[in-house]
Amino acid sequence: MALLRLITLLFIALGLFRCAREVIIDLPDEEPRVVAICHFTEGQHFRANISMSQAVNEGQDPEQPSNVEATLSINGAYYDVLYRVKGDGNDYYWRSHQAKLAEPGIEYALSVRVPGYTSVMAKSSIPQHYSLSPIVLHSEELYVETRNDGSKELRIPLELQLQNLPENERYFAFYLTHDTDVYDDSVVPAEFDHSEEQKPTNFLADGRTISLLHNIPEPVVLINENYWADNRKTLYLTARIPFNPSTDRVTKLYVTWRTLSPEFYKYHLSLSRQSGNIPLSDPDAVYNNMEGGLGNFSGYSVSVDTIDIPEF
Amino acid sequence: MIRLHAVLVGICFLLTNIPLSAQNPLSQNIDFSCQSCTPSEALLRLGRETGLAISFSDRFFASCGNVSIQAKNESVKNLVDQISSCSKVGYKLIGNQLVFFRKTQKRTLSGFVEDAETGERLIGATVRVLSANNLGVISNEFGFFSLKLEEGEQELLASYVSYHSAQTKLNITADKIIHLKLQPNNRLKEVIIPAYSEQEAKERKAGSPKYLNLAELQMIPMPGGEADLLRQTALQPGIQTGTDGLGGLHIRGGNADQNLFLLDDVPVYSPSHTLGLFSIFNPSTVSSVRLWKGDFPARYGGRASSVLDVRTREGNLQEYKAEVSAGLFATSAVVEGPIVKGKGSFLLGGRYTYFEPWVKFFSKKGNLLTFSGDQVRYRFYDSNLKLNYSLSDKDRLYFSFYYGGDVFKNNFGQSFSDEKGFITDNSNLATDWGNSIAALRWNHLLKENLFTNTTIRYSRFFYQSRLGFRSDILYPNGKESQISNYGQLYQTLISDWSGKTDFTFYVSKPLTLRWGVSFTNHDFQPGALSANFLQPGQTEENVDSLASILLNNERLNAEEAEAYFDTEWEPYQHLKLEAGLHGTVFQVKNANYRVAQPRLRLKYEGLRNFTEWIGYHQTAQNLHQIGSFNISLPFELWVPSTRKVPPEKVWQFSTGVSWHSHGWNAQLEAYYKKFVHVLTFISSGDALFTGGAVDASGWEDRIAAGSGKSRGLELLIERSLGKTTGSFTYTLSESNRLFEDLNSGRPFPLRYDRTHDLKISVRQRIFNWLEADLIWGFATGNPITLTGVKFQHESVEGEVARDVFFYTEVNGYRLPNYHRLDIAFNAYFKTGGVKHELQFGAYNAYNRSNPFFLYVDAGSSIKGKAIQFTLLPVLPVFRYTVRF
């Protein structure tokens, strides 16, 4: 809301003298290019979304070519060819065969050929995983906060400490979820009713930390590499879980921790920045590692830490 | 006419066999007698008796009486001393010849150049000694000058633009302090024509500094008739601005924050109002303006690209005067007069705008965005106070004060229905920003040729925005409820306290030394946001005391010590060397930066009215304003160098040639400039907004340091005499930036890079009371970044899809060319003791829709269709001024 107000301020101030008109400008001709987006991690299939780029003023959904040859290779040697799978809607995606799962430490190359267009190719690998130190919570660290509207939140201070901080390429992301047991308090004593599992968990952090976290179109929060400046090894967060003391019991907190390849990190950081662009500023360039086309082919490694929430 | 003649006497035919060459003839002892002789006769006799050839002029001893000497076995030297002791002469033995010469005594003539009517001191006036080969100096920032002259009668000529020159004869027998008074040229006040002498013009118009003509300032057509100093500055070659002046001044490829704006020697952090459309300098209060485009002397520091040194008027020392000026956007008034007649004076100025009628007018025209609401209020204001008091001939105190700012308020609301009910949102936004500046200065003459100035100064820039937001819902069952009610406060500020002392030592004509030290304490609050949910009866005004969320209240303190040594030396006639060193020590948190900045310029006044120069200047700055909007917005952060943010540095090499003759001046200058550690936010999204809030937290980790290059050729041709005057300026330039994190590490054009920039200004005197001004400008369009293609990003599970825009080059596209014609007529008349000035005309006379901003219309089916925003259409120019 504040963002809206400030942009409003900007435009109103300029609007004192503003007038707008339509003009036709001579944009350079851009032929459609093949777009391929594929993120992969250990033990999972390769799954790629393949489409064509469009002119900026194109209003239709992007075309998904049907005659696609998408091939995976390792060190120039054929590894697998992706096959076309129908998604939930009218979309299609391309995935690797049953036994062809991604493994860490191997550099994969994805090549996509669409007849009539320039072939595209990109390389990436699953990076070495940097784990978090075990997280142990004590009941005295937890507290309940009453919000202005009277509702309550369980606040859980977290210290996500890396066991080892790499010298460079400090590319990480995290995601918090939690389980809650819900009791029926209409009976005495309250009886267990049901469980809510893996619900997304909000968090608080100090101003600097918040400014260096990026929302990306993945179910993770990207951590800007500058966060780890001065060899800082710990990310301080406070999980906040909506909470009814008479019916809810938060049982587990899950910390999903990703170590990202440079290709993954740079692409998603640039996407995040572009989505935050504001009027009158230069748009942010999107990182592209798809030679001959557009998109992103990148790996990441992942671990999940489960934290038992103590009684309090 | 005094005729001098040399007499050679004393040719002696020696009969002696003592070889004179074997010993010093002055050390031989002789017997000598001369009763009641004139010194000339005595010397002649001595020459005959010793065989020495003695050369002298009778005039040397014209004021001496007779001498009587009766000496036995006395050395010749003693005899010569006795004979010549009555006069200030010296002598020298050259071979066998004793040559007398007059011992000339150098005296220091110093003083102040002043307005004869008001007593105000005149900055940059020329004082020339006609009897000493046109030896000349220019008065300093306080109207002071100093010369070393030989004793005797000297003839001085003092001159200043728009003043009658004054010629004075002085008999100089001792060091002297004088007050040269120049009579204002009243005729020229009605129709003002720059009035430099040929020699002055040759000196002043060759390279830096550029003295801006304040008389012209009042005549140039400006929007609404609001004379503006920065717009006049932008008419100089090598200076770029954004569309219609927005975005600040970009001098020779520099950033807007690299300009040092000084108001009475105090740095100004935000020199403009209305996002850059108007400057904070009220023209009626300004006394002098000097501009250096990067090649500034060592006494200036703190910014890397340019210096604009603005000095305010002192006020009339003799009588009370007033000036009122009303334009379409603003009214200004100035009153001045003596505090103690002839000793001290005051000047009080103010300016206030009335934009509301214009806002309403444009609102009715539908030019405002729909969400702007009907209660938009905007204004800016300036106030200036200057006091000065002469404690003695050698001491004077000055006090300067400025306070000004902008205020923007808007109340807006919207109502809409959703599935829950009918929702009404109401917001109150109040934003204000501005500068406070104060300086207390003490001028003191330690000696006739040693001038000192000690200053205590304060400068503060603040921005704050208060927002109140309330949302209510009306449910279908008729029940009402409040959804949200909160207030928010955002503040950013920088304030400085500093003290400095400057010394100027006029050693002799060929050598002037300047040195000084300063210490500044900077206090930064890069940006703090407070917010609170409001209880019933509370408003956003209570936010600061109720703040429950404070995203960033980091305050930074920095200390900056500066010292300089500067010299102007003329080792040979026509050759001038300006060399100096500026040193800075900057301490912030755990970082300490020491930067030495050498400055060098060699100037040669050649034959046939040509002057050539060559210079190398190294500059640095430890304060940075960082933003991403491409226009200078008030809430862009001023931040210091820190351990992670190194000082910005600039190297400039420049060379030029100028020619002046009979009111014509032509100048060609080339420069090459290199920028190191220029800063930018990596992403506009990183600039100030986090999670939907204004927030400066972690700013150090969100910016990138890069480099840049700029080169250009500047041509200026101007005519300053006659009924038709004007100028032609053309700049051919190229400026780029290089950041590892931007444009894939490739260099890209600076946002304000304009390959061609042409300005033509013509002033025609139609009648004695009427003059027409015409300015036409043309410039290559600014580069911007446009997206060419888009694609869709879908997350792996396919639950999120969004358009991703892709472009190949930062600033790879040029906006259409910029051009504009401004016309004004200036009329002058007098009724009784009141002088009237009337200006009327048109800004952007042929209503060119110059592009300010442009984006490709993503929703259009027409290829290349874009929406172009224009700022200023054709606008009337009108101002009426009375002086009494």
B552 touches chain A (CB under 8 A): yes
Q: Would an 8 Å CB–CB cutoff place A17 in contact with chain B?
A: yes
Is B873 part of the contact surface with chain A (CB cutoff 8 Å)?
Answer: yes
Q: Which CATH architecture has domain B258-409+436-461+473-883?
A: Beta Barrel (2.40)
In whole angstroms, what is the distance from residue B149 CA to residue B130 CA?
A: 12
* Encoded amino acid at B605, one letter: E
> Are B87 and B103 spatial neighbours (Cβ–Cβ below 8 Å)?
no
Which one of B354, B355, B804 makes the best mutation probe of the A interface by having the most chain A beta carbons within 10 Å? B804
Q: What is the mean pLDDT of residues A16-39?
A: 74
Where exactly does CATH 2.40.170.20 map onto chain B? 258-409+436-461+473-883
Q: Is the pLDDT of residue B192 over 60?
A: no
- pTM value is 0.79
Res B354: pLDDT: 85
Strand order in the sheet with B166-172: B135-138, B126-129, B152-159, B166-172
Q: How far is CA B144 from CA A122, B140, B196, B466, B504, in A?
A: 71, 5, 19, 48, 10
Number of inter-chain CB pairs under 8 A, A vs B: 283
What does the pLDDT read at residue B457? 95
Q: Which residues pair with B175 in a beta bridge?
A: none
Question: Do the Cβ atoms of A282 and B811 come within 8 Å?
Answer: yes
> What pLDDT score does A10 carry?
47
What does the DSSP 8-state code read for residue B809? S
The structural architecture, per CATH, of the domain B106-204 is Sandwich (2.60)
For chain B positions 373-432, those within 8 Å of chain A (CB to CB) are 376, 378, 408, 410, 412, 427, 429, 431
Query: How buried is A188 (Cβ within 10 angstroms: 0-12 exposed, 13-18 middle, 19+ buried)?
Result: exposed
CA gap B882, B325 in Å, rounded: 6
pLDDT at A185 over 90: no
Q: Tokens at residue B120, please?
A: 């105000």
For residue A63, what pLDDT band results from cuts at 50, 70 and 90?
confident
Q: A25, B866: Cβ pair inside 8 Å? A: yes
For residue A162, the 8-state DSSP code is B
Q: How far from B871 is each of A20, A246, A296, B875, CA to CA, in Å?
A: 9, 60, 40, 11
- Which residue would you say has higher pLDDT here, B520 or B220? B520
What is the predicted ipTM? 0.82
Is A174 or B177 the better-scoring residue by pLDDT?
Answer: A174
Contacts by B198-202, CB closer than 8 A, 24 or more apart: B198/B660, B198/B661, B198/B662, B199/B126, B199/B128, B199/B134, B199/B136, B200/B126, B200/B159, B201/B660, B201/B663, B201/B665, B201/B720, B202/B605, B202/B609, B202/B611, B202/B658, B202/B660
Which amino acid belongs to residue B717?
I
Q: Please compute the mean of the pLDDT values over residues B627-653 and round it to a whole number.
A: 80
Give CA–CA dist B230/B217, Å, rounded: 10
Q: Does A140 touch chain B (CB under 8 A)?
A: no
Q: How far is CA B463 from CA B249, B269, B382, B492, B595, in A?
A: 21, 12, 16, 5, 30
Assess whether the previous peptide bond of B19 is cis (omega < 30° from 0): no
In chain B, what residues touch A218 (CB-CB under 8 Å)? 795-796, 800
Residue with the bigger pLDDT between A199 and B188: it is A199
Cβ-proximal residues to B539 (8 Å cutoff; 6+ apart), any chain: B428, B468, B487
Q: Return the pLDDT at A14.
A: 47
State how far the Cα of B560 lies from the Cα of B667, in Å rounded to an integer. 37
Question: Which residue from A28, A53, A226 is facing B701, i.e. has the nearest CB?
Answer: A226
pLDDT, residue B801, reads 73
CB–CB contact B368 A15 (8 Å): yes
Q: What's residue B21's pLDDT?
A: 44
Position A11 confidence tier, pLDDT thresholds 50, 70, 90: very low
Task: Output the pLDDT for position B469.
Answer: 80
pLDDT of residue A280: 62
Best CA proximity match to B257, nearest among B544, B494, B67, B418:
B494
B868–A contact, CB cutoff 8 A: yes
Q: Where in chain B are all domains bearing CATH 3.55.50.30?
A: 7-102
CATH topology of domain A32-125: Immunoglobulin-like (2.60.40)
Is residue B370's pLDDT more than 60?
Answer: no
**Contact yes or no for B49/B14 (Cβ under 8 A):** no
Closest-CA residue of A relative to B223 is A17
pLDDT band at B63 (very low <50, low <70, confident <90, very high): confident
- Residues B475-511 have pLDDT tens digits of 888 887 777 777 777 778 899 999 999 999 988 767 8
Q: Where are the domains of chain A?
A: 32-125, 139-284+301-308
Q: What is the pLDDT of residues B14-50, one digit of tens each?
A: 333 334 444 678 888 888 888 888 888 888 888 888 8
Backbone Cα Rg of chain A: 24
Q: What is the mean pLDDT of residues B845-849?
A: 87
What is the overall mean pLDDT for chain B?
Answer: 82
Q: Is A7 helix (H, G, I), strand (E, B) or coil?
A: helix
Contact residues, A window 213-272, toward B, CB-based 8 Å cutoff = 217-219, 224, 226-227, 229, 271-272
Among B762, B764, B763, B742, residue whose Cα is nearest residue B751: B742
> Does residue A173 carry a pLDDT above 90?
yes
How many other C-beta atoms lie within 10 A of the C-beta of residue A190? 14
Q: Which of A280, A291, A294, A296 to mutate: most B Cβ within 10 Å?
A: A280
- Residue A2 pLDDT more than 60? no
Residue B545's pLDDT band (boundaries 50, 70, 90)? very low
Q: Where, residue-wise, is CATH 2.60.40.1120 in chain B? A: 106-204
Distances (CA, A) of B46 to B15, B31, B83, B317, B727: 16, 10, 10, 63, 69
- Furthest CA-CA distance within chain A: 75
pLDDT computed for residue B498 by the predictor: 96
pLDDT tens for residues B392-434?
888 999 999 999 999 888 777 778 887 778 888 888 888 889 9
Strands B176-182 and B106-115 turn out to be: parallel
Neighbours of B423 (CB within 10 A): 15
User: In this predicted model, what pLDDT tens digit does every residue of B585-617 receive, in sequence order?
Assistant: 999 888 899 999 999 999 998 777 889 999 999
For the ranges A3-12, B39-48, B251-260, the lowest mean pLDDT is seen at: A3-12
d(CA A110, CA A69): 10
What amino acid occupies position A151?
S
- Percent of chain B scored above 70 by pLDDT? 85
Task: Give the domain B7-102 fold.
Answer: Phage tail protein beta-alpha-beta fold (3.55.50)
A278·B863 Cβ contact <8 A: no
Where does the pLDDT of residue B516 fall: very low under 50, low under 70, confident under 90, or very high at 90 and above? very high
